[in-house]
């Protein structure tokens, strides 16, 4: 029996941990360079959750056969990532001093999740037809 290496699963879990750390810790009192572009954080939220959705889809593909008619696993992934986004926003609002939870961040997260799932499904899960 050949054991498949869960590369995308490791990347997905690492990405979620990365999002968690960036979301809950403040980097405002550091000497890091900063960019002041209005609403840039919404694009960052969108991108982070799009990447999470793509990596999550590839992670599921490592363990399950995801067919066109069997997309229930993708809905579970979407639910998980949206719930995770809500949790992060609540944690930011309740337990951090320098961060705040925002409804528009949640919206950007959710749109990112669905765009990432759409992209992953289009790139990696569609049936290829021979010409």
Q: For residue 32, is it within any domain?
A: no
Tell me, yes or no, whether 98 lies in a domain.
Answer: yes
Tell me if 12 is assigned to some domain. yes
pLDDT in tens, 61-102: 888 777 655 678 899 999 999 999 999 999 999 988 888 899
In a domain, 131, yes or no: no
Q: How many structural domains is the chain composed of?
A: 1
With CA atoms as reference, report the closest residue to 105 among 113, 116, 95.
113
Residue 58 lies in a domain: yes
Q: Per the domain annotation, does 31 fall within a domain?
A: no
* Beta carbons of 112 and 49 less than 8 angstroms apart: yes
DSSP letters spanning 58-120 = HHHHHHS---TT--HHHHHHHHHHHHHHHHHHHHHHHH-SS----HHHHHHHHHHHHHHHHHH
Looking at the domain assignment, is residue 30 inside a domain? Answer: no
pTM above 0.75, yes or no: yes
Q: Is 29 within the bounds of a domain?
A: no
Question: In terms of residues, how long is the chain?
Answer: 131
* pLDDT band at residue 34 under the 50/70/90 scheme: low
Domain interval for residue 19: 7-24+38-124
């Amino acid at each position: 029996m050949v054991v498949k290496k869960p590369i995308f699963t490791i990347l997905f879990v690492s990405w979620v941990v990365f999002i968690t750390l960036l979301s809950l810790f403040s980097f405002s009192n550091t000497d890091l360079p900063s960019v002041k572009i209005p609403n840039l954080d919404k694009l960052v939220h969108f991108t982070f959750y799009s990447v999470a959705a793509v990596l999550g889809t590839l992670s599921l593909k490592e363990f399950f056969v995801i067919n066109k008619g069997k997309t229930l696993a993708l809905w579970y992934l979407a639910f998980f990532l949206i719930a995770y986004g809500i949790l992060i926003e609540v944690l930011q609002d309740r337990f951090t001093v320098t961060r705040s939870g925002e409804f528009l961040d949640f919206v950007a997260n959710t749109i990112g999740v669905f765009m990432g799932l759409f992209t992953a499904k289009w790139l990696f899960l569609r049936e290829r037809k021979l010409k």
